[in-house]
Each structure stands twice: as C-alpha cells, then as structure tokens.
Amino acid sequence: MGLFDDDFYSTKVSRRRSRKIDASSERGGHKWPRRSRRNLATWQVAIICSVVSAVTAVLLFSLVTGQLTHEKAESPAVIGKVAASSGDPYDRIIQAAALVRPAVVSIINHKKDNKELNILDESALGSGVIYKKDDGKAFIITNNHVIDGAGKLEVVTVDGETRKATLVGADKVSDIAVLSIDGGGINTIAQIGDSSKLRLGETVIAIGNPLGLGDTLTSGIVSYTERTIPVSLNQDGVYDWEQEVIQTDAAINEGNSGGALVDLDGKVIGINTMKISDTGVEGLGFAIPANHVMETADELAAKGKISRSYLGVYSVDLNNPYVPLAEDQRKELNLPTSVKDGVVVLDAVGPAKDAGLQFNDVITKFDDQSITSTLALRKYLYDHTKIGDDLRITFYRNGAVKQVTVKLLEKPEE
C-alpha cells in the first residue's frame, strides 16, 4: 500500500469508454453532418504515418516506464508538513558521534584494599566526559558512584592512552564527580548543550565504556524529558532523595555510567547515570540533565564540594509504607488523630540540638511548607534554603504542637 489513500490516478482513458462516447454521439435525435472525403497525396500520407508512428512509440515507452503517472504521485511524502528526508537518516548520528567521541573517556577505579579483612576489591569501570581545559589540566565529569571508594583512579582516552586521574570533588546527592588529568595532547572538549530544550522523541546517542568495551556507541530516543525517580543515597533500600533525569531507550549498561548522552548536533545533553534492570524490563535508561550537571560541576571544580544547609536530625517517616512504625511506637508519640504525616526525630545534633529538638519530636512543617517525609525534609533544605538562614520548625512533642527557630549551618563532609 502506498503512502496515500487515493486510488492510482492515470490520464489514460480506456477504449471501451471511448467507444461509448462515439456511439452516444450518434444516438440522439440529431446527427452531426459528415464531411466530404478528400484524397491525400502519397507524400502527405507518408508524413502523417511517420508522425503517428512517432507519437505511438513515445506513448508506448511512457506507459512501460511509468512516466504517465500523475505528477502529484511523484512528490515527496509529507507528514505533518515535514517533508521526508531524501538523504541518509544516519548521517547526523555519524557526524555527532565523530564530534564527541574523542572527549569521552573510560575510567578505572582501583578501589582501596581492606587490609583488616584481607580483602582486595576488584577494580570498577565507568565513563567520563572531558568538558574543559584550564591551567594545563583537562577536567572530566563522571558519576560519584563511579569513583566511590577509590584508591587510585586512571583514565583511558579514546586513542588508548592511560593517564593518572585526580579527584577534584564529588557529590553523593547529585551523583556527580569531577576529575582532572594532564591536559597535554587533549585536543577535543565536549560541547555542552541546553537540556531544557530537549523534545520528546528526539534522537540521542550514548557513548561510554559498557562492560569494559570502551568507545561504544548506542542510539535511541528521548523517552521522557523530565522524569523524577526515587533513589536511596546510602543504598539501604529506603528512598531518601529524588533525582530528576532524562529517560531514554538508548542501551545503557554497567560501565556506561558517567558517559555522554548526546543530541544530533554533537552536544552533550546529559550524563548517563543508571538503568532499570529487572525481568521483563527493557529500554529504561536515565541520564542527569546537562543543565543540572554543569551547576554542580562548576561548584565542584571551584570548591571541591557542594555546600548545603544542615539541620542535624536523624529521622524516620511517621507514615512509611515500606518501614511502618510499630503500634507501641505510635502510642509513645501521643499524637492527635488529625496528624497523619510527618518526620519522627530519632536523634538531634548540631543546629537541631542547639534549638532544643529531641527524640520522638514529630516535625510537620518548615516555615509554612508541610513536611510529610524525610525526603520532603531534605528536598526543602537543599532546594529552598541556604547556609545561615533562620528556619521556623513546627513539631509535636507529647501531643502538643510547638515551634522553634533554627539557624542553619553548612553541612559537614561525610
């Protein structure tokens, strides 16, 4: 079936139809007068025969080669007012990959020896993206979990050269880390794109070091531009943070973490960070948007860490379906029946302790914002406050509602 629903259109009229027309011209009540017959000279007959023969030959040739199909059927297919490309649709992928490939490196994390238990951790593999050069050094973006627990870090460039890498700074919350290497011979720097302009269905390519197979390219589309997924920062199975990511069906495997997600202009629009791997699950990969990455990377390169507000409470959710409180624990809180959500303080240190917060206090509000979980508590602190702010906390103690103001300090390094 063709691209159009219209029947094939041809200018050819069948002979049967022609005969009907000729016959009908003689069936009415009036007949057209016949003209008198004239004899033609031999040379005139010859010329007429030649012309008729030439026209017949052209018509037969046109019919055989299909040139008499209507001009409209030969025009390019148009879908949604966008003409179908007449060139190779994969040329842009090839060109984009050629632009960014030299800036994507493999990272080898030689983990620390556990001498007390006499255990030697195996090396971990990941990927990274060279994003700038400064003062003789080249700087590389990767994931925090790629370099976590590192004893020694090495980078392998696209041409196979191994270089020693130094950790500049890392942040567990954003899962971003920055490394530096000697900038000599590094001639390609990745161009960073604007991830806020991504469109659903846009073609993207992932470049990295999956399973140790460095310099690997996969392609797919943007499945979702701004997906929010829960994560467990300390890998204890309890979600305590939300990561904003780009969802893609480009193949992302172990070792791709820290590599580049690239658009067809050859610009990095995301840093590959994770995939969902489970029975029956396919094509669910995620990348941290480039705009978020660069904010974190610039601060890490400048200060070696990310400065965030610090309250100083260790807590558990009042209403957590995964780790529910026991009935006797709820009775100890002595909460009004109207209080369904909040954060139960298990321990208070630093600013929280100085402000008077205690064990079993139930926090329900920061300023005028409801706090329903530890995740909401952390999100409010990190996204809506800064170091030195005064934070008004509403909480319940032994059934009575109270308020206290806390001056937030800088979060200490873990």
**Catalytically annotated residues:** 145, 175, 257
Nearest CA to 360 out of 381, 329, 337 is that of: 329
Q: Is 39 helix (H, G, I), strand (E, B) or coil?
A: coil
Question: In whole angstroms, what is the distance from residue 199 CA to residue 225 CA?
Answer: 7
Q: What angle do CA 122, 143, 210 make, to 5 degrees?
A: 60
Q: Is the dihedral of CA 364, 368, 371, 372 positive or negative?
A: positive
CA-to-CA dists, residue 116 to 113, 120, 150, angstroms: 9, 10, 17
Q: What are the structure tokens assigned to 357, written together?
A: 């917060």
Q: Over 215-274, what HEC string results?
A: CEEEEEEEEEEEEEEEECCCCCCCCCEEEEEEEECCCCCCCCCCCEEECCCCEEEEEEEE
Question: In whole angstroms, what is the distance from residue 143 CA to residue 257 CA?
Answer: 6
CA 344 to chain centre: 36
Identity of residue 326: A
**What are all long-range contacts of 114-118, with beta carbons under 8 Å and residues at least 24 apart?**
none
